[in-house]
Amino acid sequence: MRALVVRPGGALAVESVPDPVPGEGQLVLRVAACGICGSDLHMHAKGLLPAGTVMGHEFSGEVAESAHGFRAGERVCALPMLSCGHCRRCRSGLGAYCEGQRALGLGAAPGAFAEYVAVAAHETLRLPAEIGADAGALVEPLAVALHAVRVARVRAGETCLVLGAGPIGLGALIWARYFGAREIVVCERSAARRRLAERLGAGAAVAPEQLEGALAERLPDGAGVVIEAIGAPGMIERALGAVGFRGRVAVAGVCLGPDTIQPLPSLLREATLHFVLAYEKDDFQFTVDALARGRVDALPMVTRRCGLEEIPAAFAELGGSAGHGKVLYVR
């Protein structure tokens, strides 16, 4: 099959690689769509992916051969890890935190920037007819955002600040609206992404230099919940500075460098700080159900679709510009 491979030295190239052979408890999917994630960009840019890696962990596809209760041709998505399926965490729907799991697309197991990908059958979910291939590939990033919003306990009538309007920030905006937040402010440096946030229902989408004024106008008592979805030094301190009395901060951004905070102001407000990673299987199922019922629509965040050969150019474009929402590889 053809797949996008990380070559020695970090270059990306489409090459012929062996077709995946399903291991015990696994399915092989014919990939239909796969999103480019910020983690892909950051890990590739920092040279953290070994040569031979096939990236891609936000995907939908079709079951290639009947197995494990799935029929050939069924449309599915899957949690992107080969978890054991037997430990206490896996039995509780926490396969993303299985100590023996191998994450797809990040060096441990081949991902879905390819024609086919092997997945764990117990981490696979059927997609209803109402969910197309593109929306199916958005289930994973939407589940990340849902997990952050759930951990932060966004409630009806609360106010919310989202730092960053990449796919996870936009997903957090979508879910905060779903759960009834009455006022949502999004802070994002890209004008194009601010427009996306407004299209998806933000009460205000402002540039970083406008944030202080926007908070004074719209959230004078501070935000009930802050979702940090940027992952850069200084963002946790900014989030804590914007939260109100007994408010909650959920850190979903992946910062790869050291960071510092000043605890005293947060102590005085009794703020709660959560760090969140990935999702539970229920976050995937909740997302699939909400998409199928038309309760959420994330397709407006898709700003580009490309073929396998176009992914290297898309990586270069995304690395030099913050204007895109979600870019999908589509078969």
The DSSP result for 161-212, as a single string, is EEE--SHHHHHHHHHHHHTT-SEEEEE-S-HHHHHHHHHTT-SEEE-GGGHH
Q: If one looks up domain 145-275 in CATH, what number appears?
A: 3.40.50.720
Question: In 3D, which of 6, 10, 14, 17 has the Cα closest to residue 53?
Answer: 6
| Terminal-to-terminal C-alpha distance of the chain | 13
Residue ranges of the domains in the chain? 2-138+298-330, 145-275
What is the helix (H) or strand (E) element at residue 119, kind and residue range? Answer: strand 116-120
Lookup: tokens for 298: 């994330």
Contact criterion met (CB below 8 Å) for 268 and 299: no
- 148 vs 160, 248, 324, CA distance in Å? 12, 11, 22
What confidence score (pLDDT) does residue 222 get? 97
Fold observed for domain 2-138+298-330: Quinone Oxidoreductase; Chain A, domain 1 (3.90.180)
Residue 123 is classified by DSSP as G
- The C-alpha torsion from 49 through 55 and 57 to 63, rounded to 10°, is -140
Report pTM.
0.96
Question: In 3D, which of 132, 173, 127 has the Cα closest to residue 149?
Answer: 173
What confidence score (pLDDT) does residue 322 get? 60
What confidence score (pLDDT) does residue 57 get? 98
Name residues of the chain where pLDDT drops below 70.
320-322
Distance CA 308, CA 305 (A): 10
- The C-alpha torsion from 123 through 129 and 134 to 135, rounded to 10°, is -70
What confidence score (pLDDT) does residue 319 get? 75
Burial class (CB in 10 A: 0-12, 13-18, 19+), 73: exposed
What confidence score (pLDDT) does residue 88 get? 95
What confidence score (pLDDT) does residue 320 get? 64
Q: What sign has the CA pseudo-torsion 185, 190, 196, 198? A: positive
What confidence score (pLDDT) does residue 42 get? 87
What confidence score (pLDDT) does residue 196 get? 96
Distance CA 152, CA 46 (A): 30
Distance CA 331, CA 328 (A): 10
Q: 134-174 pLDDT, tens per residue?
A: 999 999 999 999 999 999 999 999 999 999 999 999 999 99
What is the helix (H) or strand (E) element at residue 288, kind and residue range? Answer: helix 281-292
